[in-house]
Structure 1
Amino acid sequence: MSTSACVPSLPDGLTTRPLRLADAPSVTEVIRAEELVDLGAAEMSVEEVREDWCRPSYDLSTSTRAVLDPAAGDRLVAYVDHTGDDVAYAGVHPAYQGRGIGTWLAAWVQQRAREAGATRIGSQVPQGSAADRFMQAQGYRLRWTAWDLELPAGTTMPAAPLAPGHTLRDAEPADHEPAWTLLEDCFLEWAERPRQPFDDFGARIWDREGYAPWQLRLVHDESGALVGATHVHLSGGGGYVAKIGVRRDRRGRGLAAAMLTDAFALARAHGARRCYLSTDSRTGALGLYEHVGMVVSSTWVHRAVDL
């Protein structure tokens, strides 16, 4: 069964096609326009959009749709992206909201997810936003709450030295597979998804546009075993900690605080004007970040619907 067979028609005058890599700036523009309305600031970068699309296992032509307005020179006004498993991203430019485009996007991605074998589909949106209200009205249930946290300007994090016998250094190519294993092990303790393929993981870190070795930092113990890893990168003038993980049996020794302090110090040394990260209610890490001086800058909700 084709996906289009179960999806209602778009509002009159609009057209659709799969996204192309060249659409990344236009999709970024839609996301940033929504962020301005919902969050008061635009943060998404085109590099973040491209890195998801460039995963080796990902098929942009079958997993996405763009919505275009021919009357505005085929302007891209909305998009939907079944990024994999039970997760989707979608957006409608604020100037085009309220016309039924969101209903079309939701129907399309639900059918696409069914055909891919998913039993539910969901997305993370700013709490109280137009997207949040739409999803609630469509029967999407709350799965978890997430937060963006930022280190306020001028704030100095408490000193957090490494535990005795531990070392912290940049990753080398030979470290990539062990880092993938450790971080995926940590995230899969609470994330309900398959293990991310090694090459897809790498597309978001060492194959990411602008990657430098200081962005992936590793902690080893007295025996030389890898026990922690941090991925930080520059985005929109800020330093963003995208991943941080400590092996289960080495937690409670202050390693995470030391790794976070190190990551933000490196980001600032490389020009970051702000330091931030994201976490959610599944991880139990909110208290750790608040303890070192970070404050919540925005609250998000992940909502999903059974298929």
Structure 2
Amino acid sequence: MTSAVPLQLPPAAAHLADRPLSRDDAAAVTALMAACELHDVGEVLIEEADIVGDWQRPAFDLATQSVGVLDGDRLVAYAEVYKGRWADAAVAPTHRGLGLGTALSRWTRAVGARDGGTVVGQPVPGDSAGERLLSALGYRTLWTSWVLELPAGQAIEPQPVPEGYAVREPRDEDDLRATWTVNEDAFLEWSERERSTFEEWTATVSRRPGYEPWQLRLMVDASDTVVGMAFVVVSSGCAYVDKLAVRRDERGRGLARALLVDAFEVARTHGGERSELSTDSRTGALGLYEKVGMQVTSVWRHWAADVAPDPGAAPA
């Protein structure tokens, strides 16, 4: 049985308490991250369904891979590490300067080492206090990400679906599995991670709270084979394109752009008056999004640190 890694609170935070998180904490983590995003980048990007989806992935264990810091009943900081590699952490603006960020950094690296990881990293807003902290702690930047927006009322650059192709919703599990394969194959061309299982993928797509089939846009060829996909969510009037992929041998035909425009248009019929997505420097896709009129609204960087895996740890 995997044992929990204790969080060593700094002296300035000795009045606070810590414990592993549970699924009942999803709303509190969402509120914490929203406060941090509003403070650091000027807008809220997170919603509770994002947290719930991530936490229901089969390989994630809240009891041993998460920690929360509380001031009374209020969650003021948290961290988690997925598969010994992928961390997230946040400290409320009201509780910064106490050393909590440093303590959470040490904790995430210890959890990564315990779970067999060799590198632990997380996304941080550019030019933020969190970025300055991780730089001072010896982390290095692996890639840059951009959040882009198509403002409300702005016309979407038209992109007809090429002849012989069509966009539709998924009909059954076979469609979902075909879409998962296209998505994972495309992302693994540049993402240094292991393939997500179908169950991990559906946790944040078709099993994500509030999911409806219209959110998953399938590009199919004349034989009805899935060759591309987009996944869009709508929250607080914003449509967020969370996934976009086209099979390698089908690229160069305008399918990705057609999927993107379709996702925006469908989302607007479901209340998404403005549209957002994120991309990073590993994909080379920034130009695609700028061509449909999107504008960069915030910059994030993935900071990572090497860790020495625990000799007795199972591979992450």
Whole-angstrom distance in 1 between the partners of 2:204 and 2:285 = 22
CA drift at 1:225: 2.3
Letter in 2 for 1:246: V
**Equivalent residues in 2 for 1:1-307 (5 A)?**
4=5, 8-10=8-10, 11-69=13-71, 73-173=72-172, 174-307=174-307
- Cα distance change on mapping 1:291 and 1:234 into 2, 3 Å: same
Contact 1:231–1:243 at 8 Å: present in 2 too?
yes
CA drift at 1:2: 5.6
Whole-angstrom distance in 1 between the partners of 2:9 and 2:94 = 20
* 1:188-230 superposed Cα distances (whole Å, 9 cap, x missing partner): 0000000011111001111111111111111111233221111
CA drift at 1:238: 0.9
Contact 2:65–2:111 at 8 Å: present in 1 too?
yes
Whole-angstrom distance in 2 between the partners of 1:293 and 1:84 = 36
TM-score (norm 2): 0.93
Whole-angstrom distance in 1 between the partners of 2:241 and 2:206 = 14
CA drift at 1:153: 2.2
Whole-angstrom distance in 2 between the partners of 1:95 and 1:43 = 20
Letter in 2 for 1:199: E
Partner of 1:62: helix, strand, or coil?
Answer: helix
| 5+ long unaligned stretches in structure 2 | 308-316
* 1:231-261 superposed Cα distances (whole Å, 9 cap, x missing partner): 1111232111100101111111111111111
CA drift at 1:273: 2.0
CA drift at 1:39: 1.1
Whole-angstrom distance in 2 between the partners of 1:187 and 1:180 = 11
Aligned Cα root-mean-square deviation (Å): 1.4
Whole-angstrom distance in 1 between the partners of 2:113 and 2:153 = 48
Whole-angstrom distance in 2 between the partners of 1:181 and 1:223 = 17
Partner of 2:262: helix, strand, or coil?
Answer: helix
CA drift at 1:172: 1.6
Letter in 1 for 2:273: R
Letter in 2 for 1:23: D
Contact 1:163–1:253 at 8 Å: present in 2 too?
yes
Whole-angstrom distance in 2 between the partners of 1:35 and 1:66 = 18
CA drift at 1:277: 0.4
| Of 53-62 and 92-101, the range deviating more from structure 2 | 53-62
Contact 1:45–1:236 at 8 Å: present in 2 too?
no
Whole-angstrom distance in 1 between the partners of 2:4 and 2:26 = 23
Number of aligned residue pairs: give it: 303
| 5+ long unaligned stretches in structure 1 | none
TM-score (norm 1): 0.95
Contact 2:153–2:273 at 8 Å: present in 1 too?
no
Contact 1:3–1:108 at 8 Å: present in 2 too?
no
Contact 1:171–1:213 at 8 Å: present in 2 too?
yes
Letter in 2 for 1:126: P
Contact 2:9–2:100 at 8 Å: present in 1 too?
no
CA drift at 1:85: 4.0
